[in-house]
Amino acid sequence: MSLLEITGLRANVGDKEILKGLDLTVDAGEIHAVMGPNGSGKSTLAQVLAGNPAYEVTGGTVRYGGKDLLEMQPEERAQSGMFLAFQYPVEIPGVSNAYFLRAAYNEMRKARGEDEVDPLEFADIMEQKLALVDMDPAMLQRSVNTGFSGGEKKRNEILQMAVLEPKLAILDETDSGLDIDALRIVADGVNALKRPDNATIVVTHYQRLLNYIVPDYVHVLANGRILKSGGKDLALELEEKGYDWLTGGSTAAVGAGAA
Amino acid sequence: MSSSIESLISQEYQHGFVTDIESDTLPAGLSEDVVRAISARKNEPPFMLDWRLKAYRRWLSMKEPHWPNVTYGPIDYQAVSYYSAPKTKKPLGSLDEVDPELLATYEKLGIPLTEQKVLSGVAVDAIFDSVSVGTTMRTELAKHGIIFCSLGEAIREHADLVEKYLGSVVPYSDNFFAALNSAVFSDGSFVYVPKGVRCPVELSTYFRINSADTGQFERTLIIADEGAYVSYLEGCTAPKRSTHQLHAAVVELVALRGATVKYSTVQNWYAGDKEGNGGIYNFVTKRGKAAENSKISWTQVETGSAITWKYPSVILQGDNAVGEFYSVAVVNNKQQADTGTKMIHIGRNTKSTIVSKGISAGEGNNSYRGRVQVLPKAEGARNYTQCDSMLVGNRCGAHTFPYIEVGNNSAIVEHEASTSKIGEDQIFYLKARGLSAEQAVSMIVSGFCKEVFKELPMEFALEAQALLGITLEGSVG
């Protein structure tokens, strides 16, 4: 059984259809890169998988760990080990990062039938996790994402990922807005968290991140569908040739026949 | 019903919450005879009756104020009973007597019957309907010369202090509801902390309205003598009733030279049902008078009541006096709140801080109303006001009515205000981390209120946070 099995997924934002019959299968132990031009539906895919109510699923199925993902609430998905690293992490003023992280961590534990950890136990856990993303412990006392720089926000997402240890992590444009040092820190964190029993979907526009996170599979998403799948070399080919050679000159012009 | 609740309820009575107190309820209606009857039942000295009668006569000439930004039907003052004492030895500990929904609320809070929790390190005066039913830790306090008792008892035992200070901050003529209270108040708490004494424990009053169709008119008087310190907590609950009940209380704080009074409230009167039936009308006058180098600090968390109308204020009379007001007011369903503060700067170098957090959900309406007044002689006065509103959903309202009057050129007055809407994106972000919608809202709102919660004593802060969660339950998807 695959960890994630997406078949014929269709989704709308408002009246506009963004995903138009997308298929994707991810197994444990794998890293998949989903690449594509702006507006191709990459972020929509990430948001739909996480269960954002702003996106309406109009067709297709998604099986996650053998369960019907689309029937699950966002929090159930998270509690079942799904994690979305947000492209635009949200600010929660007045709530400390430490408090928020512990609350989330404890929800995961509760879902697994384990006892909650108290703040002292949690501080020990955090010590190792902070090192993984090279983060100053002072960040834990700041309000969630509030006043963080773009790079700090992204690192904070990876910190959360390190704490929550997901089965399936989806990184939505985590590389955007990062300088090369931050990019390396983020990538090192992701690589360190890789295990045979988890999987990662890296959603990105650029090949750059894939120099640091080496994918097992690369998929090109355009106009709401996977146009082409391949190995890591496909990413390099895309870097070299752009997306146009796949989408027939203009992404906007890609019709149903292009698939 | 869980057995832990049961044990906590029965525990309550080990602490004497219902004791041998005269059982009696006056018939509905208000007249001079009723005022005399109340005074007689409480064996009050003549000065008290005179004061009540003056207040009553004054009240007759006053009109109910309608300037607050709230709406409600006419109140029939003759339909209210002005005195009710609990029926003696009525077994209120039995669960049948307590509204199951109220118990469920406590169960959800995880703090079944708050006063129990507070009792460990705190001295408590419990006001049940109109009467104080017990004050704890009095001998311990007496060692320090601290008087903590019901106001009724203080009127009999410490008449000199009461006569000197009662009405010295909120005169009976102050406003319609204060006049009504002055005429018919039945009990309340009294605190006196002598010169230079730091009160070693938190003092607390737990107010509860129980009977139907009675008004509650308690009156609290706290005096911190020169250099003294006292921290006082007030908690309130009432059972669900389908009719509105009037609660018109008065609180007076006196901080003499160099004294500090910290007054914290967690107000959770019954708010009425979703359609706005029932609930408490919470029309309260709270004010403190701060002498030279003294400090008065109000912290309030207002989650209950159908209508809240109150402005805990500070008259900064002496030089270098400090006034603070930290407030969280939450309205949900059809609740209305018009609350804020007045800071009256009279002395030189007086300072005041106002931090108000208003949260509106459902069809609730929340107004901040504040007055900062710097009198001509208040050289070097400073005020900082921060007034933030948060909206949950799109059928609620937030309003701000700040009044600033500055009569001295050297004064510095700052006012900051913001309005934000609780974001779907914030809720989704937290849900994507495994938190339920309710946990998410509670976390976002707690974060919004953080600056106020940190002013509350620890146990109250936890209670307040839990209450917010319950008040806002069902306010999102």
Is residue B436 within 8 angstroms of chain A, CB to CB? yes
Q: How confident is the model at residue B163 (pLDDT cuts 50, 70, 90)?
A: very high
Is residue B428 within 8 angstroms of chain A, CB to CB? yes
Residue A104 lies in a domain: yes
Q: How confident is the model at residue B207 (pLDDT cuts 50, 70, 90)?
A: low
At residue A221, the pLDDT reads 94
Q: Which residues on chain A are in Cβ contact (under 8 Å) with B422?
A: none
Residue with the two structure tokens 């104080």: B132
Neighbouring C-beta atoms of residue B34, cutoff 10 Å: 19
Is residue B425 within 8 angstroms of chain A, CB to CB? yes
At residue B98, the pLDDT reads 42
pLDDT at B205 over 60: yes
At residue B136, the pLDDT reads 57
Cα gap B477→B473, rounded to integer Å: 10
> Greater confidence, B120 or B272?
B272
- What is the token pair recorded at B267? 């107000």
Instruction: Compare all CA atoms of chain A with the CA of B447 and give the residue at the minimum distance.
Output: A94
pLDDT at B386 over 90: yes
pLDDT at B105 over 70: no
Question: Is B241 strand, coil or helix?
Answer: coil
pLDDT at B42 over 90: no
At residue B124, the pLDDT reads 53
Instruction: Compare all CA atoms of chain B with the CA of A82 and give the residue at the minimum distance.
Output: B432
Pick among B429, B450, B465, B468 to test the A interface (most A CBs inside 10 A)? B429
Mean pLDDT of the residues in chain B: 81
At residue B135, the pLDDT reads 57
At residue B140, the pLDDT reads 77
CB contact under 8 A, A94 and B450: yes
CB contact under 8 A, B428 and A52: yes
Is residue B476 within 8 angstroms of chain A, CB to CB? no
Beta carbon pairs, A and B, within 8 Å: 79
With contact defined as beta carbons under 8 Å apart, do B257 and B227 qualify? yes
> Greater confidence, B9 or A183?
A183
Q: How confident is the model at residue B423 (pLDDT cuts 50, 70, 90)?
A: confident
CB contact set of B400 (below 8 Å; sequence gap of 6+) = B367, B368, B387, B389, B417
With contact defined as beta carbons under 8 Å apart, do A225 and A259 qualify? yes
pLDDT at B104 over 70: no
Give B137-155 pLDDT, tens digit per residue: 677 788 999 998 889 889 9
**Rounded to a whole number, what is the distance in angstroms from the first to the last CA of chain A?**
27
The answer, as to whether pTM is greater than 0.90, is no
CB contact under 8 A, B433 and A100: yes
CA distance A31 to chain B (A): 21
The structural domains of chain B, with segments of one domain joined by +, span: 3-310
Cα gap B268→B233, rounded to integer Å: 13
Residue ranges making up the domain that contains A40: 4-248
Q: What is the mean pLDDT of residues A232-257?
A: 67
Cα gap A11→B216, rounded to integer Å: 58
Residue A253 lies in a domain: no
CA trace torsion A208, A209, A210, A213 (10° rounding): 150
State the maximum Cα–Cα separation within chain B, in Å, rounded to a whole number: 67
Is residue B449 within 8 angstroms of chain A, CB to CB? yes
CA distance A14 to chain B (A): 16
CB contact under 8 A, B448 and A93: yes
- Sheet with A199-204: strands ordered across: A82-85, A168-172, A199-204, A31-35, A217-222, A225-230
Alpha-carbon B56 to chain mean position: 23
Q: How confident is the model at residue B333 (pLDDT cuts 50, 70, 90)?
A: confident
Q: Which helix (H) or strand (E) holds B142?
A: helix B138-143
The rounded percent of chain A whose pLDDT value lies above 70 is: 95
Instruction: Compare all CA atoms of chain B with the CA of A96 and give the residue at the minimum distance.
Output: B447
Give B344-364 pLDDT, tens digit per residue: 999 999 999 999 999 998 888
Give chain A's contact residues with B (Cβ, < 8 Å).
50-54, 73-75, 77-79, 83-84, 86, 89-95, 100, 103-104, 107-108, 111, 143-144, 160, 164
Residue A93 lies in a domain: yes
Of B60-74, B251-265, B437-451, highest mean pLDDT: B251-265
Strands A143-144 and A67-68, how do they pair?
A: unpaired
- Is the complex ipTM more than 0.90? yes
What is the tally of structural domains in chain A?
1
Q: Which residues on chain A are in Cβ contact (under 8 Å) with B447?
A: 92-95, 143-144
CB contact under 8 A, B443 and A93: no
> Greater confidence, B197 or A252?
B197
Cα gap A219→A225, rounded to integer Å: 10
pLDDT at B1 over 50: no
Mean pLDDT of the residues in chain A: 89
- What is the token pair recorded at A140? 């834990």
Residue A136 lies in a domain: yes
Cα gap A46→B290, rounded to integer Å: 59
List the CATH number of the domain containing A108: 3.40.50.300
Residue A254 lies in a domain: no
CB contact under 8 A, B443 and A108: no
Give B168-193 pLDDT, tens digit per residue: 999 999 999 999 999 999 888 899 99
At residue A158, the pLDDT reads 92
